[in-house]
Amino acid sequence: MDAGILVSVSSSATKVPYDDVKYDPGNSYNTATHEYTAPLRGYYFVTSHLFGRWHVATQHIRVNGSPVLKDHMYDHDELYVATEPSVVLKLNAGDKLSVTPDFTVDGGITGGNILETWLSVALLYIE
């Protein structure tokens, strides 16, 4: 999934709105709720990319609203940062997967501009 969008984010509860789905044969990603719903119980490879305009970025991959992986990037010299967490997750059918970012300046969440982002989810093994 590739968004190529510009969006302001002001809270870690804000889900990344991937709105341009490139390949999703099972219609598992919902562009209205910004969530991927696991169609089967099994192991999934999940990777996400976030490129934004701020000094610090943290990206959380969440399952049913709870964070399962965090990737953090700090850039000393530029205003642009990228994070790319990847993980293999055991999901049950119906589990909801989402991505939430934090952009921080001087220790506080201030919002930021997402310039480029994508999410990839692949079922590796059905349990």
The three state secondary structure string of 35-49 is EEECCCCEEEEEEEE
Q: What mean pLDDT do residues 63-91 have? A: 79
The distance between the two most distant Cα atoms of the chain, rounded to a whole number of Å, is 46
* Model confidence at 66: pLDDT above 60: yes
Domain interval for residue 100: 7-126
Number of domains in the chain: 1
Domain annotation covers residue 116: yes
We report the CATH number of the domain holding residue 111 as 2.60.120.40
| pLDDT score of 94 | 98
Percent of the chain with pLDDT over 70: 64
CB 35 within 8 A of CB 29: yes
The answer to whether residue 2 sits within a structural domain is no
Alpha-carbon separation of residue 94 from 2, 57, 77, 98, 114 (angstroms): 23, 29, 42, 13, 28
Residue 9's pLDDT band (boundaries 50, 70, 90)?
very low
Is 32 within the bounds of a domain? yes
Angle subtended at Cα 33 by Cα 30 and Cα 35, rounded to the nearest 5 degrees: 60
Q: Is residue 15 part of a domain?
A: yes
Residue 1 inside a domain? The answer is no
pLDDT at 48 over 90: no
